[in-house]
Amino acid sequence: MFGKLSGVAAAAFLISAAELALAASRDSIPTRHDGNWSVEVSTERGGCERANGYGIGVENSKAQYAGSRYFLISGSDPRIKQSEPMILRHGPGWVTSLAVLPDGRLASGGSDGTIKIWSQDGRSERLLNHGDTVQSLAVLPDGRLASADSGGIIKVWPKDGPADPVILRHGSSIWSMAVLSDERLASLSVDGTIKLWPTDGNGDPVTLRHESPVWSVAALPDGRLASGGADGTIKLWPTDSKRKPVILSTGSPATSLVVLSDGRLASGHIDGLIELWPEDGQGAPAILRHSSSVWSLAVLPDGGLASGGADGTINLGPRDGKGEPVILRSDGRRVTALVVLPDGRLASGGVDGTIKLWPL
């Protein structure tokens, strides 16, 4: 009967009580049969005999038998939250960026060069054709959406109607954007430049130089700009753009920056560390750890921090940064973007072209 598993449309694996007790006492997830656990299979045609000792592989909380498709194991790790997200499909390629519009709708940008605007019930309402890979999205104070691409072009879209977007030219591939407290748009590029655009879109931008490819940006509450570089530094730029920036040394490229509810800057890194910096920039940061490279961060409604990793996990950290995070699993595919929706759900984008809306 087990030889027919690959043709079964639905199946569920249940870990035995002995393994649950074992999992609760350690942090690792079993990767092979070790004599302490068994798997029970249920199919549309009824149950199968217990698979105690059979060749079932387990990896990252998923099980596979004899070349069949993967099935999720329930309860394999006590830290894992078993919740089913709503799934939206952006299209082929990666979901590269997510943003929330003032009316609560979700905007998604993709490597296919399109931007989709989603209603709060998950319907695709509007399609914008940016043309090149959309690297970043930002919402301007007047409600317009800005999109930046791998060719160094920024398009500022009208809120409604068929009018053409305003075009800004950074000059090389743009990795990230943010809106400053003075309402200027900041764009960061792989050529190491940061450009601060006039609010009306007219005239030349102010140019700052990080001196290495710039991957991430955040607007600080006091008006300063934080930029994270491939050289492992974070620079805090003064508001007058003339004085030298404060430099924070991290040792690993900062892929994502976000400001916490208490005003501290959080940075996520390639080496899997998340650093929470003192608000004044002085002293060592508090350290959190993700299970893989961190590619996205978002502040949760309760003040906690969500981090998305290259291994497809999303960690929901407690507000005080102490204790174990709750873990969401996104099919083992890199989590490229995170944003919190007005109704409290967490939206995540992935390399498989899907957007998942997680209940928290």
Give the chain's domains with CATH numbers. Answer: 2-74 (no CATH), 86-358 (2.130.10.10)
pLDDT in tens, 276-316: 999 877 889 999 999 999 999 999 999 999 999 999 999 99
Burial bucket for residue 296 (CB in 10 Å: 0-12, 13-18, 19+): buried
CA gap 281, 259 in Å, rounded: 13
Those residues whose C-beta lies under 8 Å from the C-beta of residue 154, and which sit 6 or more positions away, are 146, 147, 148, 167, 168, 169, 170, 174, 177, 185, 187, 197
Measured in whole angstroms, the distance separating CA 253 from the mean position of its chain's CA atoms is 16
Q: How many residues does the chain have?
A: 360
Question: Coil, strand, or helix at residue 186?
Answer: strand
Cα(first)–Cα(last) distance of the chain, in Å?
A: 39
How confident is the model at residue 80, as a pLDDT? 52
pLDDT in tens, 194-244: 999 998 878 899 999 998 999 999 999 999 999 999 999 999 999 887 789
Q: What average pLDDT does range 42-53 have in this prediction?
A: 45
Place of tokens 């502040």: 299
- What strand order describes the sheet that includes 354-358? 86-89, 354-358, 346-350, 335-340
How confident is the model at residue 3, as a pLDDT? 34
Q: What average pLDDT does range 320-336 have in this prediction?
A: 83
Tokens of residue 49, six digits = 């005999």
Structure pTM?
Answer: 0.76
